[in-house]
Amino acid sequence: MIASRDNFLKYLQFEKRLSSHTVLAYSTDLNYLYDYLSSAYQVKALDEVNHLLIRSWIVQMMEEKISTRTINRKISTLKTFYKYLLRQGIVTENPMLKIQSPKTSKRLPVFVEKEKMDLLLDNIEFGSDEEGLRNQLIIEMFYATGMRLSELINLKQLNIDLHDSRLKVLGKRNKERIIPFSHELGRKITAYLEVRGDKNNEYLFVTAKGEKMYEKLVYKIVRQYLSVVTTIDKKSPHVLRHTFATHMLNNGADLNSIKELLGHANLSATQVYTHNTVEKLKNIHKQAHPRA
């Protein structure tokens, strides 16, 4: 089982060219199943695994109060794994055909209200030193472009065209896309680079030591500044991505344009933001209509 898992992960990394973050998620899910089957049923080989054992694993996760969304992600991992095993001739039957995913309730994307983003970007003091300019630019870059955390960290200086106000990012499945930005954001990029100086690093954002930025530090920066203006539970880079999409939609952008800017593979992933708009309209109707 372990050898098949390792070969599958190599297939995802080198043939499917999935990100290291995604491959790690697959690895974690498979290890979780392997540990369960080994301890609960002493199962060591793939041909010993059937749909009943997998169902018992799902029940175990439910009893552990693991979220339905997380359980469904692990089921999705197993479905992909068994498709690979069938193609390789490692197994002859797919136990996942008898597995149904638990139903999940739709969660609306969490976002920061426009007034609070305005307060953060227009009235909160970040500082005029290198760290302050960098931190403010990180917040503005997320909000102005809707890019992912991995895309921001891996953004290189050579992929920023200050003359045409556009940048190129490498998204999921190594898919490139072009994102426009405002002249104001361009000026802030220039100001940061001037203060940053030449620290012999090709990436836009660097640490105080001139090294490439890392996820934990970006999370800390975003959480620190969002905490000043909002009390929402989630204060992450992805919340700023949601905020970008929601504010774009509320101000008249069409879904297809938002889809392209976000780098979504299909429109259904973008349509979730329409629910926020509908909820806003419901609240307006409830407050304004005399018989609401």
Residue 143 neighbours by CB under 8 Å, 6+ apart: 117, 121, 240, 243, 244
172 carries an active-site annotation: yes
| pLDDT at site 108 | 75
238 carries an active-site annotation: yes
Query: What mean pLDDT, rounded, does the chain reach?
Result: 91
Q: Residue 131 pLDDT more than 90?
A: yes
| pLDDT at site 282 | 63
From 98, 130, 148, give the residue that closes a domain: 98
Residue 213 token pair: 């930025």
Could you read off the pLDDT of 49-87 as tens digits, one per residue?
999 999 999 999 999 989 898 999 999 999 999 999 999
Same-domain status, 140 and 261: yes
Task: Give me the catalytic one of 116, 168, 172, 177.
Answer: 172
Closest CA to 178 of 163, 164, 167: 167
Higher pLDDT, 282 or 221: 221
Task: Give me the catalytic one of 166, 177, 196, 238.
Answer: 238
CATH number for the domain that contains residue 89 = 1.10.150.130
73 carries an active-site annotation: no
Same-domain status, 88 and 49: yes
The share of the chain scoring above pLDDT 70, in percent, equals 94
Cβ atoms < 10 Å from Cβ of 212: 13
| pLDDT at site 232 | 94
Task: Give me the catalytic one of 5, 235, 241, 247.
Answer: 241
From 98, 127, 149, give the residue that closes a domain: 98
264 carries an active-site annotation: yes
3-class DSSP state of 147: coil
Residue 164 neighbours by CB under 8 Å, 6+ apart: none
Task: Give me the catalytic one of 26, 82, 143, 273.
Answer: 273
From 66, 98, 130, give the residue that closes a domain: 98
Same-domain status, 93 and 123: no
Q: pLDDT confidence of 198, banded at 50, 70, 90?
A: confident
Q: pLDDT confidence of 122, banded at 50, 70, 90?
A: very high
CATH number for the domain that contains residue 246 = 1.10.443.10
Same-domain status, 123 and 157: yes
What domain range includes position 124? Answer: 114-287
273 carries an active-site annotation: yes
Could you read off the pLDDT of 215-242 as tens digits, one per residue?
999 999 999 999 999 999 999 999 999 9
177 carries an active-site annotation: no
Higher pLDDT, 172 or 278: 172
For residue 89, is it within any domain? yes
Range with the lowest mean pLDDT among 2-11, 116-125, 158-167?
Answer: 2-11
State how far Cα 167 lies from the chain centre: 19
Same-domain status, 118 and 227: yes
Between 20-41 and 2-10, two packed helices, what is the crossing angle to 10 degrees? 170
Task: Give me the catalytic one of 5, 74, 134, 148.
Answer: 148
